[in-house]
Structure 1
Amino acid sequence: MDIRQLKYFMAIVEEGQISRAARRLHMAQPPLSLQLKMLEEELGVQLIERNTKSLRLTEAGHALYQRAEQILGLVDTTTKEIREFDQGLRGTLAIGSPPGIGHLYMPPRIAEFHATYPDVNFQWREGNTYRVLELLDSRVIEVGIVRLPVDEHTYDWTPLVTEPWVAVTRRLPGESRPRSITLPKLAREPLLMMQRQHGIFSHDMVWDELRAADVTPTVFCESDNVMALLALVELGLGAAIVPHSAALLGSSDNLHIMKIAGCRLESAVAITWLKGQRLSTAARQFLAMF
């Protein structure tokens, strides 16, 4: 197993079809199929199920994809570090952020950075805080925007902003539009909430506020996808509690955003990186802009 085979495997997984992966890799389909077969024979496991129109990863294939992402990310970082000794500030800077808050902070800084360092390109990945930390841990990205708190023994960070969590309800024609609502009143509807994930404490923070208000709500759905929660609100299936910037992602005439009165439900946002990691020059200069 070598780096080339891992790149081939990742392309097949990401494209969903060997033919599309072959076009992406600028090679013929039969040699690519042969490489996948050789990789499976070498490892002694089936990596991809081929009995459907689109390919599907096996459990072993999923594990290899995660490892390949880490390995190729480390190879790319190492390559960039070595090239910097001779080429100066150039190459690709990999960053990550959640939707919403990332859209507020990243574009103007990328534009400013590009004006100063035009030879640096960007790879910008999006995902929730759990995914951004996962990408940092595997060194696929160097810096990312996350919602605090995170493990202070693993990450360094620079705080950016503290924003409130808000309630989002369905807006009905002719209905009054109050600017705020209390948790007990909000909990009369089924709640739609962010999902609890390992190492991410926002979920616990919301539940702490509900307990403090002596509220035991009916939770209709939990998800790590804010847009999914807002879509359910728009269909009248409940009320969502989400960060304000996330609520703005799905802002429409059918949704009503309100402050949550009587509690201090806030989310701190920071740009973070792995503690002790040697950052590329581009990453260090980018962080300096924050």
Structure 2
Amino acid sequence: MRVVTEQSDRLARELDWNLLRTFMVIVQEGGITAAANRLLLKQPTVSNALKRLEDRLKKKLIDRGPTHFRVTDAGDHLYREVVEIYGSVARLTVSIRDIDDRIRGKVSIGLASHVTFPPFDETIRDFSARHPEVTYEATVATSAEVTSWVLEKRASFGICLVHKQHPKLTYRHLYRQHFGFFCGPDHRFFGQRDLALKDLAGEPSVSFSTDQLHDALRPVALLRTQLGWDDSLRATSPHLEEVRRMIISGVGIGPLPVHVVTRDVEDGLLWRLPPYEDAPEIDIYLVTNPAARLNRAEQYFIDDLMTRVAGIPLKDREYE
């Protein structure tokens, strides 16, 4: 039984469809010459095709001579199968033509709260314009939660800070941002340009919940510990908007991504404090799960984003 199966598999792989089609036309036309005329081929070519098919199948398909032409039982059976195959191929063209190439589906995005990356915004803009039937769900959480969603396949992908890479996930670097320390307009340091880092020691402060030595904001936590802010920490939040709100409101001084709050500094809502050089660097990654089965919208969006990112030199993706 195994030998028969192997022979059938080999025949399916090696059998030439053109031989089957030629045989079908020979039967339909009732002769080699008529078939050659229909196929616009020479008679020896058609005759040779029939012989090759019979040799391959090891069956006599047509009994023919100077005065007779008869399809054998094996030939009749093959003809009926070939007609069915030919019909399926013809229907395949129609079915493919009717497939809708429009991209639909939902793209579920997990985001850390301090993600400000113009190429990401541009990708959403262009992708949304090209594929108006795609929907989006963007949820903001801590970087650890975003990573968990991607691992559990609850998010198409995540954009977040990464402290330690998970072996089952894929990480692609998007950009690097620098964190600075800021105060609000009512703070006594607001507007002062001659401050040194030591002047900030012991000041009431606010920060991110992830501002820990064992978490993604470790470089910020190291500097905060150096300034003795562990004992003066008045408020925390995992979300940038809330940390920003508390700094502006005067609860304390705290860290924010420099390029994210440029407009706030220009508008007089925030004031940049030391250190002005060698500010803590934080890398942001696109996180995906190779085991997740993405829909076309999700995969195309990720491909578009990474193509855009690949076209931008790394130095232009580092925000001072």
> TM-score normalised by the shorter chain: which range applies?
0.5 to 0.7
Aligned partner of 1:206: which letter? V
The residue number in structure 2 matching 1:253 is 268
The residue number in structure 2 matching 1:26 is none
2:230 matches 1:215: no
- How many Å separate the matches in 2 of 1:219 and 1:166? 17
Q: CA deviation at 1:271?
A: 1.5
Does the CA-based 8 Å contact 1:195-1:222 persist in structure 2?
yes
- How many Å separate the matches in 2 of 1:167 and 1:222? 15
Aligned partner of 1:288: which letter? D
Cα–Cα, structure 1 residues 199 and 141, in superposed 2: closer, same or farther, change >3 Å?
farther
2:97 matches 1:97: no
The residue number in structure 1 matching 2:282 is 267
Q: CA deviation at 1:263?
A: 3.7
Match of 1:101, SS state, is coil
2:221 matches 1:189: no
Cα–Cα, structure 1 residues 168 and 148, in superposed 2: closer, same or farther, change >3 Å?
same
- How many Å separate the matches in 2 of 1:151 and 1:222? 25
Cα–Cα, structure 1 residues 107 and 203, in superposed 2: closer, same or farther, change >3 Å?
closer
Provide Cα deviations, 1:129-154, integer angstroms capped at 9, x if missing partner.
23322332332211121113342413
2:291 matches 1:285: no
Q: Structure 1: which 5+ runs fail to align?
A: 1-85
Does the CA-based 8 Å contact 1:183-1:261 persist in structure 2?
no
Provide Cα deviations, 1:45-94, integer angstroms capped at 9, x if missing partner.
xxxxxxxxxxxxxxxxxxxxxxxxxxxxxxxxxxxxxxxxx765322121
Q: CA deviation at 1:195?
A: 1.0
The residue number in structure 1 matching 2:135 is 121
Cα–Cα, structure 1 residues 274 and 265, in superposed 2: closer, same or farther, change >3 Å?
same
The residue number in structure 2 matching 1:136 is 150
Does the CA-based 8 Å contact 2:183-2:190 persist in structure 1?
no
Cα–Cα, structure 1 residues 278 and 198, in superposed 2: closer, same or farther, change >3 Å?
farther
Cα–Cα, structure 1 residues 147 and 137, in superposed 2: closer, same or farther, change >3 Å?
same
Provide Cα deviations, 1:181-239, integer angstroms capped at 9, x if missing partner.
6543223411211113899723433222345xx43222222221222222222232210
Deviates more, 1:187-196 or 1:163-172: 187-196
- How many Å separate the matches in 1 of 2:194 and 2:119? 27
Q: CA deviation at 1:248?
A: 5.3
- How many Å separate the matches in 1 of 2:295 and 2:288? 12
Does the CA-based 8 Å contact 1:172-1:254 persist in structure 2?
no
Cα–Cα, structure 1 residues 272 and 175, in superposed 2: closer, same or farther, change >3 Å?
closer
Cα–Cα, structure 1 residues 229 and 100, in superposed 2: closer, same or farther, change >3 Å?
closer
- How many Å separate the matches in 1 of 2:274 and 2:291? 39
- How many Å separate the matches in 1 of 2:288 and 2:194? 36
The residue number in structure 2 matching 1:241 is 255
2:261 matches 1:229: no
Q: CA deviation at 1:128?
A: 3.1
Does the CA-based 8 Å contact 1:153-1:275 persist in structure 2?
no
Which has more radius of gyration?
A: 2
Does the CA-based 8 Å contact 2:244-2:256 persist in structure 1?
no
The residue number in structure 2 matching 1:177 is 191
Q: CA deviation at 1:256?
A: 1.5
The residue number in structure 1 matching 2:10 is none
- How many Å separate the matches in 2 of 1:146 and 1:202? 9
Cα–Cα, structure 1 residues 224 and 215, in superposed 2: closer, same or farther, change >3 Å?
same
Cα–Cα, structure 1 residues 277 and 199, in superposed 2: closer, same or farther, change >3 Å?
farther
Cα–Cα, structure 1 residues 198 and 168, in superposed 2: closer, same or farther, change >3 Å?
closer
Cα–Cα, structure 1 residues 221 and 135, in superposed 2: closer, same or farther, change >3 Å?
same
- How many Å separate the matches in 2 of 1:186 and 1:174? 11
Out of 162, 166, 179, the residue aligned to residue 180 of structure 2 is 166
Does the CA-based 8 Å contact 1:183-1:210 persist in structure 2?
no
Aligned partner of 1:271: which letter? L
The residue number in structure 2 matching 1:151 is 165
Does the CA-based 8 Å contact 1:209-1:263 persist in structure 2?
no
- How many Å separate the matches in 2 of 1:254 and 1:108? 27
Cα–Cα, structure 1 residues 228 and 176, in superposed 2: closer, same or farther, change >3 Å?
closer
- How many Å separate the matches in 2 of 1:187 and 1:180? 15
- How many Å separate the matches in 1 of 2:286 and 2:194? 30
